[in-house]
Amino acid sequence: MTICRSIRSIIWQRRFRHSFITTPIFYANSAPHIGHLYSAVIADAAHRWEILKAPNELHQFTTGTDEHGSKIERAATSASLTPIEHCDKVTAQFRALFEAFDISYTDYIRTTEERHKRAVREFWARLSKAGHLYKGKYSGWYSVIDECFYKDSEVEKIRSLDGKESSVAKETRNPVEWVDEENYMFRLSDFKEKTKKILESTEVITPTHFKPLAIRELDACGDLSVSRDSTRLKWGIPVPDDPSQRVYVWLDALINYLTVNGFPDKMQFPAPTCQIIGKDILRFHTAYWFAFLQALNLPLPERLFVHGHWLVNNVKMSKSLGNVVDPMEIAGLLSNDGLRYFLLKQGVPTDDCNFMKLKAIELINSDLVNTIGNLLQRSTIPKLNPAQVYPIFDAKKVPSNCAQLAKELINDLGTLSNRVRTHYDELYFYRGIEILLNIVRKTNAFFQEAQPWKLSDQEEILTVLAVSYETLRITAILLSPIVPKFSAHTLSRLSIKPNEANLQEAHFRGIGCFGGKLGSEKEPFLNRIKPNN
Ligand code: MSP
């Protein structure tokens, strides 16, 4: 069955080269921070990259907000709002964030929408009909902050300074409370072996670095409580035919990936091609999600891309420490594309990453302003290019002192997109970006060596400019998934039309390809950021 499904999925992939990328849906309890933006920016870059590779195919990219549960209910109460008023407010903040950072989602799902509630009810009914649910007594720990059940072995006692004892989850250090209730259990144990085989024998989890963690977490799972007593959890979707129970928020939330695909009606895609998640929610997306899908005979996602967390000056972000970085605020200093760039260049998915303002400023200044921005500014000044044209490259007119460098550059530009592609396909964006930066650095060295401002032969000057513009053009195309506005500005200055900014054009075109007038915007897109701004 599974083999048939995967063959079907491979055939589908080959035929359509579609993509369906998801972010987790974000808790609507408080305003977004840079960690949330990171998940969204990786997904957005992946989506833009898929479009660049196959512009005429179908590309779905979904995100949204996770709006049910005690955590949201409590946040609303402390803000003196009703839960839905609170969700409306936080959702508006996420949407504003995504707009500001060019997160080009194709669908935004809120779990409070009717289309989603319908999907959850239908999913539940199918689980129940197929015998995967039973009513049982759940006694154990629950953390409202994590919205997660914990076993005894996953909890420990701590003593506060005033001598009071309380219990916390070992992994997250969040408080847990003892729960004794009658609710619906899902026979997750029936799927553990199958899921384990999938995790072990496929590359569904990338980076594979996270495989052992996923397997450990799966091993620790038993049957799962999938509902909560409605006297404890009011703000949730009622269990069909049993209003005394509410659907467990993780089951509710995971189903969003089906709702956006059309479930319970005809689904547009077999399954997501890539789901982006932080390492803290791996257990929910492997042990739980894979079991739910198998229970209904639905295809699994082709890939889960897991990323580490952002710390701030090496400390975990938390409201109580007051070190949460607001992306909108910090973008006032770094610019929106600057922050996108920093997150994707500094963000190494396998590790936790460290946010330091000075480091971010340094990186943006050195890469976007000094390396790329500077090459664009110095090579387009009217003094060197009075006619303001995109010149034609003439191999016979390469100044002799930099002929070797020019040859190397032209070769490098020929293979650039393939080299970058290897890393972007893996969503190791920082590696692809480094390759791009290296070629721009090399072109700056070439420009310096050629000294076009000292040349008297106009055709030689134009040939030096042509090599520089070609580097900038190809780099800007390949950077467009990372920094869309910065790239668009560079391409517009070079007078490259949007329909020419695609992967097929991302190689050295040689003589006679362009030759049009440059764009009129002479100001740099980004100015050097001063640390004390
Ligand atoms: N609502 C659940 C997800 C349900 S998906 C069916 C949830 N929400 S969350 O708002 O807490 O987290 C959303 C995403 O943000 C997760 O991928 C999480 O890993 C990520 N991040 C939250 N804090 C983070 C950092 N400090 N750094 C990087 N990403 C982090 O979990």
Identify the pLDDT of residue 533.
Answer: 60
Cross-strand pairs, 134: 185
Atom 5 of ligand 1: nearest residue by CA position: 24
Give the position, in ligand 1's atom list, of the atom nearest the Cα of 36: 15
Give the position, in ligand 1's atom list, of the atom nearest the Cα of 254: 6
Instruction: Outline where DSSP puts E strands in 105-186.
Output: 107-110, 133-143, 148-150, 155-159, 165-169, 177-186
Identify the pLDDT of residue 37.
Answer: 98
Give the position, in ligand 1's atom list, of the atom nearest the Cα of 289: 6
Please report how many Cα atoms fall inside a 13 Å half-sphere around the Cα of residue 434, on the Cβ side.
Answer: 10
Ligand 1 contact via 260 beta carbon (within 6 Å): no
Q: How confident is the model at residue 70 (pLDDT cuts 50, 70, 90)?
A: very high
Identify the pLDDT of residue 514.
Answer: 59
Q: Is the pLDDT of residue 513 over 80?
A: no
Q: How far apart are CA 454 and CA 457, in angstroms?
A: 9
Give the position, in ligand 1's atom list, of the atom nearest the Cα of 26: 10
Any domain includes 472? yes
Q: Is the pLDDT of residue 4 over 80?
A: no
Ligand 1 contact via 276 beta carbon (within 6 Å): no
Six token digits for residue 32:
């977004």
Any domain includes 523? no
Any domain includes 376? yes
Using the mean position of ligand 1's atoms as its centre, give its distance from the Cα of residue 276 in Å: 10
Helix (H, G, I), strand (E, B) or coil at 210: helix
Q: How confident is the model at residue 163 (pLDDT cuts 50, 70, 90)?
A: confident
Q: How confident is the model at residue 204 (pLDDT cuts 50, 70, 90)?
A: very high
Any domain includes 147? no
* pLDDT 10s digits, 289-330: 999 999 999 999 999 999 999 999 889 988 778 899 999 999
Ligand 1 contact via 25 beta carbon (within 6 Å): yes
Any domain includes 458? yes
Domain count for the chain, please give it: 1
Any domain includes 443? yes
499: containing domain? 360-505
Question: Under a CB-based contact definition with an 8 Å cutoff, are residues 239 and 121 in contact?
Answer: no
Any domain includes 485? yes
Tell me what the mean pLDDT of segment 210-234 comes to.
94
Identify the pLDDT of residue 13.
Answer: 46
Q: Is 225 left (phi over 0), alpha (psi -120 to 50) or beta?
A: beta
Ligand 1 contact via 66 beta carbon (within 6 Å): yes
Q: pTM of the prediction?
A: 0.94
Which of 98, 281, 288, 355 to mutate to test ligand 1, by most ligand atoms within 8 A of the CB atom? Answer: 281
Strands 59-66 and 26-27: parallel
Any domain includes 479? yes
Q: Is the pLDDT of residue 2 over 70?
A: no
Mean of the per-residue pLDDT values for the chain? 93
The CATH number that applies at residue 474 is 1.10.730.10
Q: Is 194 left (phi over 0), alpha (psi -120 to 50) or beta?
A: alpha
